[in-house]
């Protein structure tokens, strides 16, 4: 696998080796040993999630104040713009973000470690997103940041419309958020 650090060095683009021919393709979407050796990440995944969304759906920016989750994102079908935001107050990259396009055809993955907020927007007509997390979903600890927070200035791709859940519409700006300690 190929591992490329992003502008936030702990957020990594993972490119698995894909074996393809006229029949289709095969690749290992996760191999714990290779992930540790190539990416230097000793992650223990405890839950797999699968999301189906239509064009313009924006999910995020989400995080947990306790039981923070590292996420390994992979698009099975479609295309998304995936974003990680450093929300660790003590970090030199606090409030910085990185975004990458993930598609079902390029098989790239994005590793977002614990301590980051995460979100994505669907660019294709539909998208199937599969991701592994390092801690269990804990609704009592889940928080969100407004996707369009001017203090973060995330450069989301231009779309005719953005579709948000009520929870994401009501999310506070970072300056008012409870952040992990």
Can you give the CATH number for the domain in which 60 is found?
2.60.120.10
Catalytic residue among 62, 63, 136, 137: 62
62 tagged catalytic: yes
For the residues 5-31, what does the mean pLDDT come to? 92
131 tagged catalytic: yes
**Per-residue confidence at 29, pLDDT binned at 50, 70, 90?**
confident
Domain total of the chain = 1
Contact of 64 with 143, CB cutoff 8 Å: yes
Contact of 51 with 38, CB cutoff 8 Å: no
Q: Per the domain annotation, does 181 fall within a domain?
A: no
pLDDT attached to residue 39: 85
Q: Which residues contact 146 (CB under 8 A, 6 or more apart)?
A: 61, 171, 172, 173, 174
Q: Per the domain annotation, does 66 fall within a domain?
A: yes
**146-173 tens-digit pLDDT:** 999 999 999 999 999 999 999 999 999 9
pLDDT attached to residue 128: 98
Percent of the chain's residues with pLDDT above 70 = 100
For the residues 12-17, what does the mean pLDDT come to? 94
For the residues 40-50, what does the mean pLDDT come to? 93
**Per-residue confidence at 40, pLDDT binned at 50, 70, 90?**
confident
CA 181 – CA 171 distance, rounded (Å):
19
pLDDT attached to residue 181: 72
Catalytic residue among 63, 107, 118, 131: 131
Residue-range definition of the domain harbouring residue 85: 2-176
pLDDT attached to residue 96: 98
pTM: 0.94
- φ/ψ (deg, to 5) at 32: -55, -45
Q: Per the domain annotation, does 63 fall within a domain?
A: yes
């Amino acid at each position: 696998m190929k591992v490329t650090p992003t502008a936030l060095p702990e957020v990594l683009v993972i490119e698995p080796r894909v074996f393809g021919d006229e029949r289709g393709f095969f690749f290992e979407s996760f191999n714990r040993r290779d992930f540790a050796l190539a990416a230097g990440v000793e992650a223990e995944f405890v839950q797999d999630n699968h999301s189906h969304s239509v064009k313009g759906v924006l999910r995020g920016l989400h995080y947990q104040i306790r039981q923070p989750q590292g996420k390994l994102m992979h698009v099975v079908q479609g295309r998304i713009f995936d974003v990680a935001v450093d929300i660790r107050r003590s970090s030199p990259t606090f409030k910085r973000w990185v975004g990458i396009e993930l598609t079902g055809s390029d098989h790239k993955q994005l590793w977002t470690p614990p301590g980051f907020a995460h979100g994505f927007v669907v660019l294709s007509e539909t998208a199937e997103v599969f991701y592994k997390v390092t801690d269990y979903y804990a609704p009592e600890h889940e928080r969100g940041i407004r996707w369009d927070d001017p203090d973060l200035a995330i450069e989301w791709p231009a779309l005719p419309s953005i579709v948000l859940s009520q929870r994401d519409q009501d999310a506070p700006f970072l300056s008012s958020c409870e952040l992990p300690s």
